[in-house]
Each structure stands twice: as structure tokens, then as C-alpha cells.
Amino acid sequence: MSIETQPFDFLVATGQWAFAVTAFLVLLICGASGLAMMTHGVTGPLLVFRWIPRFPADLLQLSPRRVFAIAQLTFREAIRRKALVVFGMFALLFMFGSWFLDNPNERMELQVKNYISFVLTAITWLLLPVVLLLSCWGLPEDIRNRSLHTVVTKPARKTEIVIGRMLGFSTLMTILVVVMGLTGYVWIDREVAFNLTVYSETIDVDGQETLVEYVDEDEGVTVRVTAGDEPTQVTAATSRTALRQENPDLYALTERARIQALGRHLVAKRPVLGTISFKGDDGKPTERGVNTGDIWEYRTYIAGGTNWRAIWDFENVRSEVAADGLVLESSFEAFRTHKGDDIQESLLLQFSLVKVRRSVFRDANNNVVSATAVRKSRDDENAFEATVDGESVAVSRFPVAAHDVEVRNNSYVLIDDPEIVVLIEEEIRAPLSSFNISEFGENITVLKPQITFYDQESGERKQLDLVNDLVNDQGELRVEVACLDSGQYLGMAQRDLFVRLPSSSFAVGYSKAICGVWMMLGLIVVLGVTASCFLKGPIASLLTFVMLLVGQGFMPFLEKIVGGEVEGGGPLESIIRIVRQINVTDQLPENTFYSTIKGIDGFLNQGLFIVKNIVPDFRNFQMDTYVANGFDVPWSQAMAPSIGITLAYLVPCLVVAYYSLSLRELEHK
């Protein structure tokens, strides 16, 4: 079991990448041939083809010594251009940052979240302009003051110049990121420690569970210690230092509790997400729960006191991870239909662990048969038959994995072929004891290796082994959630219930997020240096910045437009609709004018499609939300795509940079 829902497939990604790069290169060659035809006549394309092998040749003859020489030059240049002033700004920000961020009235989780977000945002947005401007201005400046003339008249290759530049800026950027990242870490740690004035922790003192409650207020320090069943001992001191002097043993105890509390606040939880589905009041599966009015709602609801259930299916629950039990963490949102005195009361909730078996059936020709047509054979208990085209044929059962199944039209079907209904059989059901949830806090449910429960059928208490009895052969475990209070609705989304693996340390999650910032800046360097090979400094900076904006903020919007999901048609059509005040849902009149408009819009849409596919999806680099919310950064969802994107852009950018530098006169105009 790992925290990944869907593993990132590098092979598939590489395939897609190769396809995209090939398409890009073909487009580039076609464009260049067309241009060459215009400038050089019929022999133009020939010229283009003569140029093609030069890039790989140049790359193969790359000399590391020259690359490092240029990288070092770039680095020195940036340093001597006072790029390190950014450190000063960083320091300033942090000196005053705590003034604005410290808010003793805020809950500790929110404060911690603020600190982490602040640090990661500050690092990103301080370094972004520095890195962007440096990498976009380096080469154009070199061309402007013609110092590049003395370099290209030496045996330095164009790829060496480009790679050297990229390397130089990246080195500088790496140093900046590492230093700022470390400073940020220390700062977060200190701020949280400083603001942790109230905590209560259960710690182990000589084998005895001891509750230490600590409050540090203006009036003084109060410590309450409850060891086992003994009565609570209350100690007060004027200050923390006073406590330390007066009662060193107690101080040591509070210190231990404090460190534990710190570890709880600064943590990288590793959630294993399951897939969510619902079961309606009629007992049939459905994709979504009850809607409480807001169609944009992220959560859907199950009704309390009914047969509504929310269902999570977890995969890879193998003995390696579950032998010592599992930890389920949940936080649900309640929607009350009646308000009253009981508003303070918490909601009663029940989990059930279910072992299910998912199967599809195949006939003798290995064709998959939908489970709706399958029944048990009359002759043989373990055999199945189905009616296909009016005839009864023998079929055999095959297991399917949970991630291949989804709910559609009130039945479980294969994702790849929604026509095929999957048979889901419930083999064992173990309802756990109900519990009250707090509405915002997190509920922790510990599943021991042995599950004891009350079996309603037999009316007895039963004990089952978690891994061997409740997890099915494919290593899957189903958790069903019911709300027992009628009149209440409980909101659920995929992330609201997860299996918690032992947490990583905060440092791990934080370093991954810093890594994300680093890779994003690396990509900016690559894009910036490339842009600066064919554009002047300001324009190159603008282009790179626009790429960043589009790739960060406009991506979802672009996806919608390109996917045709936006109402009111393409850009021209929407302008006309606005000018003529035609409602977006109205049909446009059918005439040549409007069909021309639609045609142009279609063309523009193609353009947007290209833009969407050329601009890197910078959203992948945003890992701060994971860390700020106390989660580890998953490899497949965040780390791998980021590494992939940065590497993927390197090769096409080098191609563009090489030909831009080779085909232009390096003369300032």
C-alpha cells in the first residue's frame, strides 16, 4: 500500500512525450521548409534538411569543459550583477513576516498552515522574478554588448553556449533555493515552537500513560499531570523559566510533551486515498450522494437514519502494511435539516468493513459477458451460465480490480467498457461500533489486526482477522459509512476518508515541496534561456512570464475552451453575442455570416489547442498545499509529473535554442 492512487507510468509518459516532440519537430521542419521556400526558392527545403543533422552532431561533440566554462561565467555574471540582493529581501520579509502572521487566537493547525504557505510562497515569488529576468536577459545582453562575439569566434558550439547558460543559472538558482529553503524550515520550526503555548499530550512515563496538559498565559504557566488512574496534579509557575528552575523534573516532562505536540503539528501525513461511491436508500449503487442545493458543491451527502451509504474502496491492503492494523482518518461535514439545542451534539456515525468480490464473466471465446445476463448453473454449484443472443452458454468467472470499476446508472460497470456490468458480491460484513464525530476535527479510527464486532445475523460477537478475513484476494478493502442520526446529512468527498500510513517527518514533505519550487524554477530557466535565443530581453521575459501565467492559472480555462465546454461558442462568437446581446443558450441564426464566424472560431480553437499543449502545466509544481495541510507529497501525483515536465521540455527547448542561435546573426540591431 502506498500513498499513490494511480502510479505515474514513466513509460507511457515517455511514449506520449516522444509523440509530442516528434509532432513538434515535424511542424517545425514544415514551417521552416515553407519559409525557406519563400526566401530561397525551390532549393530552400533542401537547405532545411541539410541543417537537420547539425543539431545532433553539435550535441554529440559537446565538450564538458566549455559547458562548465560558460556555466561558471554565467554564474559569476549573475553574482556580480548583485543577484544575491534577493537574500536581503528574503531576510526582510521574514523579519517582519511573523508580525503579520502570528495570531494567537487562531487554531494551531491554521497557524501552521499559514507559516508553511507563507514560506513556500515567499520563496517562489521572490526567486521567480530573479530567475526569470536573469535567464531572459543573459544572452540578449551578451549579444547587445557583443561580448558573445568573442565567444562564438572561439570553438564554442551553440549547444554548449545554451547548456552552459542553463547550467549556470540553475546552479545559482539551486543555491538560492537551498539556502532559502533551509532558512524557511528553521523559521517555521521556530515560529510553531514559539506559538505552541497550549498543548495536552499523552506520553509514556516509565511504562505508564501520562497526560500532560500545559498552558502558558500572561498570568503564568499551569501544568496538569494525570498519571494513569492517579489524581491530577496541578502545578503553577510564574513563567516557563521559573518552572524550569523550580521544578526541573516537571519541566523535562512538559518538554517531552511539547516535542510530541510539535511533531503532531509539523507532520507529513501519508494518506492512502480510496475510490468513493455511494449506495442509495434503495440499496442500489450511485455515483453521487444527495444534493443539498449547491450544484457546485465539492461534497455530496448521505442522509442519516436511512440506507444511504458512502463507500470507499481501498487497494493494496496487503499484509506488509496492514499486519499491525490500519489507521483510518476521516473528517466529514454535516448539513443539518433542523437546528436546535442539539446543534452542539456530535453526529453518530458507523463504519462497516466489507469484503467484496468483483467479477466479470467470459464465455468460451473469451468474450466478456455482462453480469446482468449471468446466473448460477443449475447443475453445478460453482459453474455459471449466461444467456447470449437467446442461447444459454457456459461462462467462467474472472476477478477485476477496484480501480477498473466505476458506478454508472445504478450499477458497477467496467471503466473501459461501461456496457459490461460487474458483479459485486458481499462476502463478509463487519460493522464496527458507532462513534461520535466532531464536525471539523479529524476522527481517527484504529483498526486492530483482529476485528471484534457484533454480528447481527447470529446475534453474537465475532472476531475476524483484518488481513486474512476482510481483505479480499486482490488486496482490497471496502469501508462503508453510515450516518445514524436521522434528519442529518453528512457531506463526503474522496479525500474525507483515507487510510493513514505512518507519517513522514515534516522535513521530508517540506523538502519535496521545495524540490517542486526548484524544478519549476529550473523549467523557467530552460524556457527563459530558450526564449532569449531568439528574442530580446524584455520580450523574452514577457513570453516566459505569459507561459507561466497561462500554465499556472489559465490551464483549467483553456482545457474547457479546447474541450468545447464553454457556453456561448468561441472568442468571436462570444464577442458577437455580447455586442448583440444574444443569450448564451440561444441558438444563432443559420447563415453564412455565422458559419464563417464559427469557422474562424474553430481555427482559433486549433490555435488554443496548440497553445495548451505547448505551454507546460505549471500546476504540477504546486506542492505547497499538500505540505501546508500536513500531508506528504505523493510521488505519482506531484513529484513524478514535475520531474517529467522539466525533463520533457529540455530537449525541444535545446532544439529551438540551437537553431535560433545558429540561424540568426549575433549582431545587435
Partner 1 sequence: MDTNEAVNNETMPESDETPETAEVDTPAAPDSDEPVIKIRNLSKIYRDFWGRPKVQALNSLSLDVQKGEVFGLLGPNGSGKTTTMKLLLGLLFPSGGDITILGETATNVEKNERIGYLPEESYLYRFLNAGETLDFYGRLFNMSKADRRERVDRYIEMVGLTHARHRQLKEYSKGMTRRIGLAQALINDPDLVLLDEPTTGLDPLGTRDMKDLILKLRDDGKTVVMCSHLLADVQDVCDRIAILYEGELKQLGRVEDLLTEQGRTRLMTSRLDDAAMAEIREVIERHGASVETIDHPTSTLEELFLRTVEESRERPGRRFVPEDAPASDEEPAANESE
Positive or negative, the CA dihedral 52, 53, 56, 60 is: negative
Query: Can you list the positions of beta strands (E) in 110-217?
Result: 198-205, 208-216
- Cell numbers found for residue 643: 520531474
Q: Is 494 exposed, middle or buried (0-12, 13-18, 19+ CB in 10 A)?
A: middle
Of 267 and 547, nearer to partner 1 (C-beta) is: 547
The span from the CA of 648 to the CA of 551, in Å, is 15
Q: How far is the CB of 603 from partner 1 (least distance, A)?
A: 15
Q: Which is nearer to partner 1, 38 or 446 (CB)?
A: 38
- Of 32 and 122, nearer to partner 1 (C-beta) is 32
For residue 316, what are the contacts with CB-CB under 8 A and spacing of at least 6? 1, 2, 272, 475
Nearer to partner 1, 147 or 410 (CB): 147
CB-count burial class (<10 Å; 0-12, 13-18, 19+) for 501: middle
CB of 656 to partner 1, least distance (A): 5
Q: By CB under 8 A, name the binding residues for partner 1.
A: 27-28, 31-32, 35-36, 39-40, 47, 50, 54, 63, 65-66, 68-70, 72-73, 76-77, 80-81, 145-157, 531, 533-535, 543, 656, 659-660, 662-667, 669
Interatomic CA distance for residues 638 and 622, integer angstroms: 8
Q: How many residues does the chain have?
A: 669
Distance of closest approach, residue 180 Cβ to partner 1, in angstroms: 24
Q: What is the 3-state secondary structure (H, E, C) of 397-444?
A: EEECCHHHEEEECCEEEECCCCCCECEEEEEEEEECCCEEECCCCCEE
Which CB sits closer to partner 1, 128 or 610? 610
**Residue 389 corresponds to which amino acid?**
D
Nearest distance in Å: CB 152, partner 1:
7
Least distance to partner 1 from the beta carbon of 168, Å? Answer: 12
Unique residue bearing C-alpha cell 495548451: 612
Least distance from partner 1 to the Cβ atom of residue 559, Å: 21
Q: Which lies closer to partner 1 via its Cβ, residue 149 or residue 244?
A: 149
Q: Which one, 268 or 533, has the nearer CB to partner 1?
A: 533
How far lies 114's CA from each of 109, 261, 361, in Å?
A: 9, 18, 53
Closest approach, Cβ 50 to partner 1, in A, equals 6
Q: Which residue's CB is nearer to partner 1, number 80 or number 461?
A: 80
Please identify, using beta-carbon distances, which residue of 377 and 613 lies nearer to partner 1: 613
d(C-alpha 228, C-alpha 210), whole Å: 6
DSSP H or E segment with residue 304? none
Question: Taking the complex as a whole, how short is the minimal distance between the CB of residue 291 and partner 1, in angstroms?
Answer: 46
Q: How far is the CB of 172 from partner 1 (least distance, A)?
A: 14
Considering beta carbons, is residue 73 or 484 the nearer one to partner 1? 73
Which residues on adjacent β-strands are paired with residue 499? 272, 328
How far is 362 from 306, CA to CA, in rounded Å?
37
- Give 383-392's long-range contacts (Cβ < 8 A, gap of 24+): 386/361, 388/363
Query: Rounded to the nearest whole angstrom, what is the least distance from the CB of residue 85 to partner 1 in the complex?
Result: 15
Q: Exposed/middle/buried for 376, CB within 10 Å: 0-12, 13-18, 19+?
A: exposed
> First and final CA of the chain: distance in angstroms?
60
Shortest CB 82 distance to partner 1, Å = 11
Residue type, 230: E
Contact 577, 569 (CB under 8 A): yes
Q: Which is nearer to partner 1, 64 or 305 (CB)?
A: 64
Ramachandran bin of 325, using left for φ above 0, alpha for ψ from -120 to 50, beta for the remaining angles: left
